[in-house]
Amino acid sequence: MRLTLLAVGRLRSGALQSLLDEYRKRLGAGPLGPLAIREVEAGRQKGSPARKAKEAQLSLKALPKDARLIALDEQGRNFDSRAFAMRLGDWKAEGVARSPL
């Protein structure tokens, strides 16, 4: 199974990049395999409906064709780490090849 993280905007060096590097290292050694990261350009007008629509369009275009989509949103359903890992494990057992985060 390959995981692809779509990030809106540019990932800068620093704490976030260090965290991504750590997850990439952990996943590469684990049963879920490597983590690919794709950046999607953010729109100019922060928070505007037009920007969000453009970001959504670009994100969907960047998805691998055979991907299962997981959208992370602060107002979405909450999964603790164990439940999220179990969901990924279930998809792997079902033969899902790709899963973007």
pLDDT tens for the chain, 101 residues: list them. Answer: 777 888 887 777 678 888 888 877 877 766 666 777 888 887 666 767 888 888 888 888 888 777 777 877 778 888 888 888 888 888 878 876 655 55
The shares of helix, strand and coil residues in the chain, as percent rounded to the nearest 5, are 45, 15, 40
Q: Is 76 helix (H, G, I), strand (E, B) or coil?
A: coil
Contact status, residue 1 vs residue 32, Cβ threshold 8 Å: yes
Q: Which domain holds residue 20?
A: 2-100
Residue 53 belongs to domain with CATH number: 3.40.1280.10
**What count of other Cβ atoms lies within 10 Å of the Cβ of residue 88?**
20
- What is the domain count for the chain? 1
